[in-house]
């Protein structure tokens, strides 16, 4: 079975600073990995996803994530934070159980941006 | 525009009352999901449906019921048996691309108990 761990429930960075949100996963099969963003009182929006191929995945709003199999990680980064990046971010992995297809979500990381 | 809609945005429930949350999608997706979100707990799967007229319990199905009579619609009923219904409810649908699926989410419904 798959699982996802997001390190740090709350991350705070200054505007213009590097954003790094950590995600580690466990999977017995090649994973399918996602990052979603959620703004207050809204649904989740897909930021980016890794399927196969290139391990560095570029998403919307300047975010990117790198799949590192040796470290079982899929950390999300952005070179320069904007105030509009303040939101909650969820890492997820697909469940490859043949009897039920589910996506497993991490517990989320709240990103705050300091002026 | 294709997308997923949830209504209402806010819903109030009285003690002992059943309430139904609407989820509609015009993306022609086969699979639909209901999640509950509580602060600090991420998303927990309530029910999901892979195809019309079929649905499966998720991790926290007790006190909830669903139906899937149409491909576009997957309403969730929060029954009086759900003792702690206050939460943010998210509906999602998904499409298979190759061997994998991607989920797309609605804007959510916040349920509050009076």
**What is the mean pLDDT of each successive set of 10 residues along chain A, which is 115 residues long?**
88 96 87 89 87 87 94 96 96 64 84 95
CA distance A29 to A37: 25
Given A41, A49, A105, which is nearest B42 (Cβ)? A105
Label the pairing between strands B76-78 and B100-105.
unpaired
Is the pLDDT at B64 greater than 90? The verdict is yes
pLDDT digits (tens, 9 = 90+) for B3-51: 999 999 888 888 888 999 999 999 999 899 999 998 777 889 999 998 8
CA dihedral B102, A71, A2, B76 (to 10 degrees): -40
Token pair listed for B74: 């997957």
Is the CB of residue A80 less than 8 Å from the CB of residue A16? yes
Q: Taking chain B, what is the end-to-end CA distance rounded to the nearest angstrom? A: 35
Nearest CA among B113, B91, B103 for reference residue B21 = B91
Once rounded to an integer, what is the mean pLDDT over residues B77-88? 91
| Residues in chain A closer than 8 A to B40 (CB atoms) | 9, 107-108
The proportion of chain B whose per-residue pLDDT surpasses 90, expressed as a percent, equals: 62
């Amino acid at each position: 079975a798959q699982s996802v761990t997001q390190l740090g429930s709350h991350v705070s960075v200054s505007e213009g600073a590097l954003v790094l949100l950590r995600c580690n996963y466990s999977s017995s099969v090649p994973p399918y990995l996602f990052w979603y963003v959620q703004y207050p009182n809204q649904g989740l929006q897909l930021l980016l996803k890794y399927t196969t191929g290139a391990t560095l995945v570029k998403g919307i709003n300047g975010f990117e994530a790198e799949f590192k199999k040796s470290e079982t990680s899929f950390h999300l980064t952005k070179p320069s934070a904007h105030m509009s990046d303040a939101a909650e971010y969820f890492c997820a992995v697909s469940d490859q159980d043949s009897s039920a297809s589910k996506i497993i979500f991490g517990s989320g990381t709240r990103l705050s941006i300091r002026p | 525009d294709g997308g997923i809609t949830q209504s209402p945005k806010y819903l109030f429930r009285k003690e002992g009352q059943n309430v139904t949350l609407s989820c509609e999608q015009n993306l022609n997706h086969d699979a639909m999901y209901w999640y509950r979100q509580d602060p600090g707990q991420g998303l927990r799967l309530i029910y999901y449906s892979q195809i019309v007229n079929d649905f499966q319990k998720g991790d926290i199905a007790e006190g909830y019921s669903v139906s899937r009579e149409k491909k576009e619609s997957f309403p969730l009923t929060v029954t009086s048996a759900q003792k702690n219904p206050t939460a943010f409810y998210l509906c999602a649908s998904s499409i298979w691309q190759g061997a994998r699926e991607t989920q797309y989410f609605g804007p959510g419904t916040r349920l509050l108990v009076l």
